[in-house]
Amino acid sequence: MSNLNIRPLGFAAGAEVTGLDLCQPLAEADRGAINDAWLRHLVLVFPGQDLTPEQQIAFARNFGELDDHASQAPSTLHPEHREILVLTNKQVGGKPSGTHNSGRNWHTDLSYTERPAKGALLSCKEKPPVGGDTMWANLYLAYETLSPAIRALLEGLEAVHDVTLIKGIEQRDPALVADMKRRNPAVVHPVMRVHPETGRKSLLIGQRIRGFVGMSDEESQSLLSMLNTHATSPEFVYRHRWSVGDLVMWDNRCTCHVALADFDQTKPRVMHRCSLEGEQKTGRIITAAGMGDRASMLQAVAAVS
Ligand code: SIN
């Protein structure tokens, strides 16, 4: 048994885990303690863990199957390990990488696929001198603090998640964006979800939602704006200031997050992400047509409703 120590970092989310060397195989007792802490604190920070890609993958596998990132453009993956998505503002092959501005609006990873990620493990390789922070919102608290009337409205409501709503996607290489669209036609997911391990209800919400099934555009936008503002209230948020060697592991089934552009973009920021495959498909593809065009998207939704 190790000297595992867990120290809460925030009320809504976040705890620091020390006393473990993640390069080493994980004892079952430690795996269980980490999983319990993960379910309780949603975002775990393991400082001072200088992991190779192989070590990051091996550690991540303690918590589930890894997503093979079929939803991502191949050039954004680690050249030898497709389980690792490389988020970098450094040039790749003399061009801006396909991830140079990733994560800039509130989202839950892979919500634009039928199987949103169970969780993710992000390892900080390089960071700017200041900024480049990431924030996570606790979506259990977001759900639980809504009025009974709004919670009733959300029961059975579905939202359209659209990859083209990734903020800044239009600044990426057009061929790569076309590839992302082809891989990820719009999907519909329930707005209210039940965590498979804790049984608690939360929201699947964020800024990559086009609208709600059965609502007019105006109704969708008003409700979406209210829910997103509420869900990302400062008291529901943990903000992480990165150090090189931090590994952060978050539960994607009850959080959303945003990577802030609050740094000098000439300074490198490089992160390696493993995504844990979602336990279940909660979404269904609605259409490959009309991507990026709100009117035809809502028409397509109406056709399958
Ligand atoms: C992500 O959105 O998964 C990346 C977060 C980050 O780069 O901080």
Tens-digit pLDDT profile for the chain (305 aa)? 579 999 999 999 999 999 999 999 999 999 999 999 999 999 999 999 999 999 999 999 999 999 999 999 999 999 999 999 999 999 998 889 999 999 999 999 999 999 999 999 999 999 999 999 999 999 999 999 999 999 999 999 999 999 999 999 999 999 999 999 999 999 999 999 999 999 999 999 999 999 999 999 999 999 999 999 999 999 999 999 999 999 999 999 999 999 999 999 999 999 999 999 999 899 999 874 433 455 555 555 555 54
Pocket test for ligand 1, best of 118, 246, 271 (most atoms within 8 A of CB): 271
Nearest to 191 by CA among 229, 155, 139: 155
Per the residue annotation, which of 41, 107, 161, 189 is the catalytic one?
107
Atom of ligand 1 nearest to the CA of 103: 2
Closest Cα to atom 4 of ligand 1: 103
Which atom of ligand 1 is nearest to 87's Cα? Answer: 7
How far is the centre of ligand 1, averaged over its atoms, from the C-alpha of 260 (Å)?
A: 9
Of 109, 162, 246, 251, which one is the catalytic site residue?
A: 109
Protein residue whose Cα sits closest to atom 5 of ligand 1: 259
Cβ contact 267:128 at 8 Å: yes
- Whole-prediction pTM: 0.94
The strands making up 84-88's β-sheet, listed across from edge to edge, are 5-8, 15-18, 43-46, 247-251, 119-126, 270-276, 84-88
